[in-house]
């Protein structure tokens, strides 16, 4: 299989990163080291090449109303310049993918524009699913990533570093807000508008940008030269797990519903609109669920749980680990996994089998880590 490479591939290699296959792409797993990269994001600022992610542009009349049939979150809650995190569901209420939906507003032709950022591993299947199930076949669906890079800068100092690149203040972009912002200059010294959103996958404040490739390379190098630490998938995973964020394919899939995956806050059953899987979720809301994704803290530095490890209670296997790591911030082993509802209570004690040894684990509240709130 020939792996795809992002436009930043050569620049990543030049910084000495170690590459690995991921979702059909050759991606950096780490640069200077996972711990250093992780701590850079928690304490200063880190830079991620996320150009493997899928980006779809939906254009037409009543686009938001049509897309509503595929997601359980009320899309009328967001307007132009705003975004929301949501889920694509199948007829059984199973999660096909998680995604961020950006409302770009209406263009001069009166067309609504929505931008969807989806997981790399699901890009083709998501596109086919959306095309198949949209109520209005007159809506155009296009790949908005061609000749683009996606860059994320995350951490308490991210805004300070990024602000130096833009003409106007980025301070007024709220969480899950997005803007077209004008760069001070590009490679050819021409001013250019860049899509910038205050979103991320680390539990820290930060921004994600969609940028033409040549300009993106310039911005990438500029930020690194300004002492922003380049980070790989390894740190991205430990950061998101500390923040209690889901990884599609691990912590949720087409066989799990939002309620089971502890994402019930994304299901807006109070809205008077139908969506795929609504009847299943209404039944679960009324009758309850049999299993639930929980956070776990394990005892012992060697007790690092990995996906698939058995969770045991009273000598019976009651669940499996979906994600696990050693937390560089908390200095303890953390994990997520599914447990029967009666065991999914805060403080419940279970065991995790690691290399034929059982390690005590406690169900805890997520997220494991939460940043200190700041103004703006």
Q: Identify the pLDDT of residue 376.
A: 41
Q: CATH number for the domain including 179?
A: 3.30.1360.120
Where residue 331 sits, what CATH number does that domain have? 2.40.30.110
CA distance 10 to 74: 41
Where among 99, 119, 143 does a domain terminate? 143
The whole-number pLDDT of residue 1 equals 79
Predicted local distance difference test score (pLDDT) of residue 188: 59
CATH (domain of 76):
3.30.70.1400
DSSP-derived pairing of the beta strands 18-22 and 291-298: unpaired
Integer CA distances (angstroms), 165 to 162, 193, 219, 241, 292, in order: 6, 11, 8, 30, 44
Query: Is the same domain home to 96 and 24?
Result: no
Residue 342 is assigned to a structural domain of this protein: yes
Asked whether 7 and 25 are in contact (CB, 8 A), the reply is no
Q: Is residue 236 part of a domain?
A: yes
Count of the separate structural domains present in the chain: 3
> Is the same domain home to 35 and 179?
yes
pTM as predicted: 0.96
Q: Does the residue 270 lie in any domain?
A: no
Residue 192, domain extent: 4-53+146-241
pLDDT digits (tens, 9 = 90+) for 150-185: 999 999 999 999 999 998 999 999 999 999 999 987
The segments of the chain whose pLDDT lies below 70 read 186-189, 373-376
């Amino acid at each position: 299989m020939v792996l795809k490479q992002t436009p930043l591939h050569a620049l990543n290699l030049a910084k000495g990163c170690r590459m690995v296959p991921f979702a059909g792409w050759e991606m950096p797993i780490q640069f200077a080291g996972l711990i250093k990269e992780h701590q850079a994001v928690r304490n200063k600022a880190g830079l991620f090449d996320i150009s493997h992610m899928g980006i779809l542009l939906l254009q037409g009349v009543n686009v938001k109303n049509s897309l509503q049939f595929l997601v359980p979150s009320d899309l009328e809650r967001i307007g132009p310049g705003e975004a929301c995190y949501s889920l694509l569901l199948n007829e059984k209420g199973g999660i096909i993918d998680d995604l961020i939906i950006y409302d770009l507003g209406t263009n001069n032709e009166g067309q609504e524009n929505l931008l969807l950022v989806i997981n790399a591993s699901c890009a083709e299947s998501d596109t086919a699913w959306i095309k198949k199930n949209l109520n209005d076949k007159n809506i155009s669906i296009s790949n908005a990533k061609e000749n683009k890079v996606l860059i994320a800068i995350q951490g308490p100092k991210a805004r300070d570093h990024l602000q130096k690149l833009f003409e106007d203040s980025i301070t007024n972009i709220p969480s899950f807000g997005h803007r077209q912002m004008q760069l001070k200059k590009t490679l050819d010294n021409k001013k250019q508008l860049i899509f910038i959103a205050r979103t991320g996958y680390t539990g820290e404040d930060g921004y994600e940008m969609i940028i033409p490739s040549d300009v993106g390379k310039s911005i990438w190098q500029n930020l690194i030269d300004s002492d922003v630490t380049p980070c790989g998938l390894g740190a991205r995973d430990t950061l998101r797990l500390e923040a209690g964020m889901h990884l599609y394919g691990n912590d949720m899939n087409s066989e799990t519903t939002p309620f089971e995956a502890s994402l019930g806050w994304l299901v807006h059953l109070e809205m008077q609109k139908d969506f795929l899987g609504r009847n299943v979720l209404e039944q679960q809301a009324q009758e309850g669920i049999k299993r639930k994704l929980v956070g776990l803290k394990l005892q012992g530095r060697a007790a690092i749980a990995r996906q698939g490890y058995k969770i045991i209670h009273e000598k019976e296997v009651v669940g499996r680990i979906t994600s696990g790591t050693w937390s560089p911030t908390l200095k303890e082993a953390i994990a997520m996994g599914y447990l029967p509802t009666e065991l999914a209570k805060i403080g419940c004690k279970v065991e995790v089998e690691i290399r034929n040894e059982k390690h005590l684990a406690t169900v805890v509240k997520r997220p494991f880590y939460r940043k200190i709130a700041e103004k703006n």
